[in-house]
Structure 1
Amino acid sequence: MTPEPAVLDVRALTKVYGQGDTAVHALRGVSLRVERGDYVAIMGASGSGKSTLMNILGCLDVPSGGRYLLDGTDVGVLDERRLSILRNRKIGFIFQSFNLIPRMSALANVELPLAYGGVKPAERRTRARAALRQVGLGDRMDHEPNELSGGQQQRVAVARALVTAPALLLADEPTGNLDTRSTADVLGILDQLSLSGRTIVLITHEDEVAARAKRVIRLVDGEIIEDRRQAPVVGPPPAAVSLPEAAR
């Protein structure tokens, strides 16, 4: 039997901005593998290269050199159309600033990736409702973002990331704009998703957030200086959140 490919397989990635004396080497030969079901925190100070790596992993930027395989697909050989399809189907994004459409309901926001993917209205409505119930917002589906707290908006963003059943959840500072209680709620959801088998990569500068992951990678000046396994600190999930088999 052919072994299952890693969700992420990054080989000697480099990224250089500019040329000559003004060139900035944001990544210097980064290599890593993330297997299915792993929960990885990528840490680093400002200028370490973590945002550049995040953009490349999310297929939002291209490396200057090296190779990147996402769920077995070589990203570097894809044209923009196929890259867009891959990004929509394989990656669920969770952003620090939520990136919700202001005048659309929570339900409509969660439906968006399915609409882009050509899913029929009835099916995408059913799947979006299920995703919102997963994150404990079954009673907030018709609310617009300005009617929701920051923590609730981030839960909508998590539901939107989940609704396509992606190979990878990619979270960029997902608790950066949240208070302590909302941070605990969102991290509790990520804990439960990890326990159910989801593959999660998050970017964070906070040690207490990274402590929830199974593996911590540290970047300094565009290079990995630490890649270690750890016993994650798993907190209790929010009381309203239930993660049925559809979340797996």
Structure 2
Amino acid sequence: MITIKNLSKVYDTGSIQVKALNEVDLHVEKGDFVAIVGASGSGKSTLMNIIGCLDKPTSGHYVLDGVQTETMHPEKLAEIRNLKIGFVFQSFNLIPRTSALHNVELPMIYAKYPRKERLVKAERALERVGLEDRIHHKPNELSGGQKQRVAIARALVNDPAIILADEPTGNLDSHSTEEIMGIFKDLNDEGATIILVTHEPDIAEQAKRVVTFKDGQIIDDIRNEQKGASI
């Protein structure tokens, strides 16, 4: 699903060069559930931006679902980003004045789905995360956990190759966190490939695999199928 080889990212500030990623190698199979951890400045966010086609590496290779991305034109990259990647953010990134249903529709509007198909798929995605009774509610009428469920439904609606979740429980209480992680686990059991960035050890432990970054490099890559499967 994802193959990263000799990936480096250098930021040139003018006076100095900062190497955010240093020849990283990473392979993620379809159906995996990977947590990426590391201190601030370790390179995990830079990697997520590249995996999400929001940034390009300085050197190296990144293949997503059979597509080599690092040399792509920005317009093509945006198309890949919309069709192959579902994003879930800590701050939800919902449009405030519109319904849950319309928020979930948005990726399909960009993908030019017919309206009837958009509505059917959006409703099914919201049902999938247990929000069938909240489809016409606006974000200010939803709890934090419900907002994140809308965000997950939006991430799912185009049937992406991977779901990228950046600190998805960072703004949630413990009960909502448990519910959201349960949804991610269920989605993974159904075959979804999930990559999650977190600074919380108890969240990382619920993934099948934990990849640890330090100084722009992977220093640990531990698979724990049994623990991931038992949560």
TM-score norm. by structure 2 comes to: 0.97
Q: Residues 186 and 235 from structure 1, CA distance in 2 versus in 1: closer, same or farther, beyond 3 angstroms? A: farther
Partner of 2:107: 113
2:193 equivalent to 1:178: no
**Kept in 1: contact 2:208–2:229 (CA 8 A):** no
- 3-state SS, counterpart of residue 104 of structure 1: coil
Gaps of 5+ in 2: none
Which amino acid in the other structure matches residue 150 of structure 1?
G
CA distance in 1, matches of 2:212, 2:161: 23
Partner of 1:100: 94
Partner of 2:212: 218
- 3-state SS, counterpart of residue 77 of structure 1: coil
Partner of 1:149: 143
Partner of 2:201: 207
Partner of 2:2: 8
Deviation track 1:96-150 (CA, whole Å, cap 9, x = no partner) reads: 0000000110000000000100000000000000000000000000000000000
**Kept in 2: contact 1:12–1:31 (CA 8 A):** yes
- 3-state SS, counterpart of residue 125 of structure 1: helix
- 3-state SS, counterpart of residue 76 of structure 1: coil
Partner of 2:38: 44
What's the CA shift for 1:86?
A: 0.6
Q: Residues 98 and 156 from structure 1, CA distance in 2 versus in 1: closer, same or farther, beyond 3 angstroms? A: same
Partner of 2:69: 75
**Kept in 2: contact 1:172–1:204 (CA 8 A):** yes
Deviation track 1:56-86 (CA, whole Å, cap 9, x = no partner) reads: 0000011111010010100023211111111
Q: How many residues align?
A: 230
2:170 equivalent to 1:161: no
- 3-state SS, counterpart of residue 165 of structure 1: coil
CA distance in 2, matches of 1:28, 1:76: 16
Gaps of 5+ in 1: 1-6, 237-248
Of 224, 227, 231, the residue aligned with 1:232 is: 227
What's the CA shift for 1:197?
A: 0.9
CA distance in 2, matches of 1:178, 1:220: 26
**Kept in 2: contact 1:188–1:234 (CA 8 A):** no
Partner of 1:193: 187
TM-score norm. by structure 1 comes to: 0.90
CA distance in 1, matches of 2:184, 2:96: 24
- 3-state SS, counterpart of residue 183 of structure 2: helix
Which amino acid in the other structure matches residue 143 of structure 2?
S
